[in-house]
């Protein structure tokens, strides 16, 4: 089922996600629906907050992106990122590392906004998968960026928080409009 994606201005996007201790049929359904929703919108990552659930859960799939490479290290060995896709991260803990890299970023909760964000180039991630089995790996390139972006969502942090003042000023008007529209929408409900 395609889920509604909440947009900037919705308070859910500022909520820290609760840890998931068991995979209930509802969580299983939610994971499947999040993948379906993400693919329909041509996204590469989607966090539970974006579909209105404050949970430590994100889904990621970067396989369709060919112009921005990703790297993966499994057990200290280089591996094909496709090996762990589609990727479900539950209760993730990450350690970003490496030189900062500036690159364009978008977010399904910010339609039509695209801006440069600087993040460490690599990330070490530990999480549980959809079967609550531990997964551990290092990622670089686009995959590292997506993981850091989604991890932020799980903590109520948004990519605009990591943009420079200059870029944020450039998109200020769009942001204000989006926020006002989200608030108006909420009042109708």
Catalytic sites, residue numbers: 150
Instruction: Pick between residue 94 and residue 107 the one whose CB is nearest to Zn ion.
Output: 107
Task: Looking at the chain, list the stretches that DSSP marks H as alpha helix, in order from N- to C-terminal side.
Answer: 25-40, 141-154, 165-188
How many residues contact Zn ion, by CB under 5 A?
A: 1
Residue 107 near Zn ion by CB under 5 A? yes
Q: In this complex, which beta carbon is closest to Zn ion, that of residue 59 or of residue 107?
A: 107
Residue 109 CB, shortest distance to Zn ion, in Å, is 6
| DSSP, residue by residue, 34-100 | HHHHHHHTT-SEEEGGGGT--BSEEEE--TT--SS-EEEEETTEEE-GGGG-SEEEEEEEEEEEEEE
Q: Pick between residue 23 and residue 68 the one whose CB is nearest to Zn ion.
A: 68
Least distance from Zn ion to the Cβ atom of residue 3, Å? 14
Gap between the Cα atoms of 86 and 81, Å rounded: 10
Contact between 30 and Zn ion (CB under 5 A)? Answer: no
**CA dist., res. 73 & res. 104, Å (int):** 24
Residue nearest to Zn ion (CB): 107
Least distance to Zn ion from the beta carbon of 77, Å?
A: 30
Which residues of this protein are in contact with Zn ion, per CB under 5 A? 107
């Amino acid at each position: 089922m395609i889920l509604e994606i909440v947009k900037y201005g919705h308070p859910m996007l500022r909520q820290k996600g609760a840890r998931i201790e068991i995979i209930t049929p509802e969580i299983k359904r939610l994971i499947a629906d999040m993948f379906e929703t993400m693919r329909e919108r041509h996204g590469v990552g989607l966090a539970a907050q974006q579909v209105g659930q404050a949970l430590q859960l994100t889904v990621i799939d970067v396989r369709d992106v060919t112009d921005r490479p990703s790297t993966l290290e499994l057990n200290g060995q280089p591996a094909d990122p496709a090996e762990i896709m589609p990727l479900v991260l539950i209760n993730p803990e990450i350690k970003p590392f490496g030189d900062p890299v500036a690159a364009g970023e978008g977010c399904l909760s910010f339609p039509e906004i695209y801006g440069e964000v600087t993040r460490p180039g690599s990330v070490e991630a530990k999480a549980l998968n959809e079967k609550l089995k531990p997964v551990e790996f290092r990622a670089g390139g686009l995959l590292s960026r997506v993981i850091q972006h989604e991890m932020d969502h799980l903590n109520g942090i948004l990519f605009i928080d990591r943009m420079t003042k200059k870029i944020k000023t450039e998109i200020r008007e769009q942001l204000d409009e989006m926020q006002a529209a989200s608030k108006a929408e909420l009042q109708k409900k």
